[in-house]
């Protein structure tokens, strides 16, 4: 049981710089390229030789990207870091440094913010990334998290969205739709709680999909596997907005069309069963759910024999001439237009 006399520390008691000292305790750099991390106006990074620096930024807003009613602060911190690491993996690179800025309201305690940073620091430990700085300020509109990740890769190894050609094979790592089904479970239990605060949440047997939503992982290991097999994708993106949206991003950048086979889309059995429970076609969850953070990429047909032996990767279709559009071949062998219905923060829902 928790000690009823335990007192939470108001942020006002420490102030900005006291809070920074508190949340940066014990942070050590691990990479030679980090010449100077936390403690000055800027971090100093020295890429070496033929390597290039990769930088990506992400913004997460309370009420838009996450709901504090069912999102633990530590999980939120972990996820806010990992989704940025995923962007670097999608360039065929490795994340190395991370900067985090937060806007925080008075409703949060010092301990809550420490939990957030505990998750961030755990992610950095898992992925070998240095937390090198950031910013803190007040917010009148809920919690705001701004993350900037810096990665590196050999110049010739960088993969862009624009390199695919007609007849290239479309591949994806892992399985899809799980994060979306995890979100639906959390939203269902939130509504049940709002209707009856005494009700206990029904989250048993949903560990996998809840982890996919609350604590996703960046597929940096896939980058390692491809490098080991000497496979360089022709284009790549991470699945953050949904398979349909993201494959169409590749098509647009590469000026191609595509054909996706419904039967080839990897869907975990837990995801499949729960989609049926929600009266959702499992393929729809995979195509439009988003937040899976798997790697979606294309390869030349010459690489087929190598890729087909990799258990973490599924070949789900191929690129076509742009004039053929983006198509989905259904399980009953009908060809229909692929429509992007995934996450778009600026569109009306």
CA distance 268 to 283: 11
Q: Evaluate whether residue 74 is within a structural domain.
A: yes
Residue 1 has pLDDT above 60, yes or no: no
Residue 163 has pLDDT above 60, yes or no: yes
pLDDT in tens, 282-338: 999 999 999 999 999 999 999 999 999 999 999 999 999 999 999 999 999 999 999
Average pLDDT, the chain: 91
Q: Evaluate whether residue 344 is within a structural domain.
A: no
pLDDT at 167: 98
Average the pLDDT over 122-142 and give the result. 94
Q: Evaluate whether residue 140 is within a structural domain.
A: yes
| 22, two tokens | 């508190």
Q: Evaluate whether residue 164 is within a structural domain.
A: no
Residues 36 and 90 in one domain: yes
pLDDT in tens, 44-53: 888 777 788 9
pLDDT at 349: 47
Residues 326 and 184 in one domain: yes
Residues 234 and 274 in one domain: yes
Domain housing 45: 12-157
Residues 195 and 321 in one domain: yes
pLDDT in tens, 73-88: 999 999 999 999 999 9
pLDDT at 96: 96
Residue 348 has pLDDT above 80, yes or no: no
pLDDT at 73: 96
Look at residues 118, 134, 157 and tell me which one is the last residue of a structural domain.
Answer: 157
Q: Report yes or no: 151 and 51 within 8 Å, Cβ to Cβ.
A: no
Residues 232 and 99 in one domain: no
Look at residues 131, 157, 183 and tell me which one is the last residue of a structural domain.
Answer: 157
Residues 107 and 16 in one domain: yes
Specify the CATH number for the domain of residue 186: 3.90.650.10
How many domains does the chain fold into?
2
Residue 41 has pLDDT above 90, yes or no: no
Residue 244 has pLDDT above 80, yes or no: yes
Look at residues 101, 130, 157 and tell me which one is the last residue of a structural domain.
Answer: 157
pLDDT at 263: 97
Average the pLDDT over 2-22 and give the result. 81
Residues 34 and 148 in one domain: yes
Residue 142: other Cβ atoms inside 10 A: 16
Average the pLDDT over 224-246 and give the result. 96
> Between 40 and 135, where is the model more confident?
135
pLDDT bucket at 347, cuts 50 / 70 / 90: low
Average the pLDDT over 181-191 and give the result. 92
Nearest-CA neighbor of 187 among 87, 70, 108? 70
Residues 69 and 176 in one domain: no
Task: Provide the H-helix boundaries in 196-320.
Answer: 207-214, 220-228, 243-254, 269-277, 282-288, 304-307
Average the pLDDT over 99-120 and give the result. 94
Residue 2 has pLDDT above 70, yes or no: no
pLDDT bucket at 275, cuts 50 / 70 / 90: very high
Specify the CATH number for the domain of residue 151: 3.30.1330.10
Nearest-CA neighbor of 261 among 209, 185, 338, 324? 338
pLDDT at 159: 93
pLDDT bucket at 35, cuts 50 / 70 / 90: confident
Residues 152 and 236 in one domain: no
Task: Write the CB contacts of 137 (distance below 8 Å, at least 6 apart in sequence).
Answer: 16, 101, 102, 103, 104
Residues 209 and 331 in one domain: yes
Q: Evaluate whether residue 135 is within a structural domain.
A: yes
Q: Evaluate whether residue 51 is within a structural domain.
A: yes
Q: Evaluate whether residue 198 is within a structural domain.
A: yes
Q: Reading across the β-sheet that carries 326-329, which strands appear in turn?
A: 235-238, 295-299, 169-173, 313-321, 256-261, 326-329, 335-337
pLDDT at 272: 96
pLDDT bucket at 346, cuts 50 / 70 / 90: very low
Q: Evaluate whether residue 87 is within a structural domain.
A: yes
Residues 50 and 117 in one domain: yes
Residues 148 and 173 in one domain: no
């Amino acid at each position: 049981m928790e000690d009823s006399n335990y007192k939470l520390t108001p942020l006002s008691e420490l102030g900005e710089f006291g809070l920074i000292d508190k949340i940066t305790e014990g942070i050590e750099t691990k990479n030679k390229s980090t010449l100077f991390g936390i403690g000055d106006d800027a971090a100093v990074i020295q890429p070496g030789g033929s390597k290039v620096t990769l930088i990506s930024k992400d913004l997460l807003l309370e009420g838009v990207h996450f709901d504090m009613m069912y999102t633990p602060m530590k999980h939120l911190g972990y996820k806010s870091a990992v989704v940025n690491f995923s962007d670097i993996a999608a360039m065929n690179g490795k994340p190395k440094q991370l900067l985090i800025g937060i806007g925080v309201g008075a409703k949060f305690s010092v301990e809550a913010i420490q939990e957030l940073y505990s998750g961030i620091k755990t992610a950095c430990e898992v992925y070998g990334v240095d937390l090198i700085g950031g910013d803190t300020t007040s917010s009148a509109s809920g919690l705001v998290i701004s993350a900037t990740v810096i990665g590196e890769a050999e110049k010739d190894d960088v993969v862009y969205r624009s390199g695919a050609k007609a007849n290239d094979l479309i591949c994806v790592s892992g399985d899809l739709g799980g994060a979306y089904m995890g979100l639906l479970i959390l939203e269902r239990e939130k509504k049940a709680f709002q209707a009856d605060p005494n009700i206990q949440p029904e989250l048993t047997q949903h560990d996998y999909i809840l982890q996919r939503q609350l604590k996703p992982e960046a597929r940096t290991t896939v980058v390692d596997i491809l490098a080991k097999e000497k496979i360089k994708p022709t284009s790549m993106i991470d699945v953050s907005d949904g398979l349909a949206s993201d494959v169409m991003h590749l098509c647009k950048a590469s000026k191609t069309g595509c054909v996706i086979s419904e039967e080839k889309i990897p869907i975990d059995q837990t995801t499949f069963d729960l989609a049926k429970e929600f009266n959702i076609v499992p393929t729809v969850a995979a195509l439009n759910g988003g937040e899976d953070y798997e790697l979606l990429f294309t390869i030349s047909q010459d690489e087929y024999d190598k890729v087909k032996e990799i258990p973490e990767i599924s070949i789900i279709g191929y690129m076509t001439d742009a004039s053929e559009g983006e198509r989905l071949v259904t399980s009953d062998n009908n060809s229909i237009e692929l429509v992007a219905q995934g996450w778009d923060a600026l569109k009306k829902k």
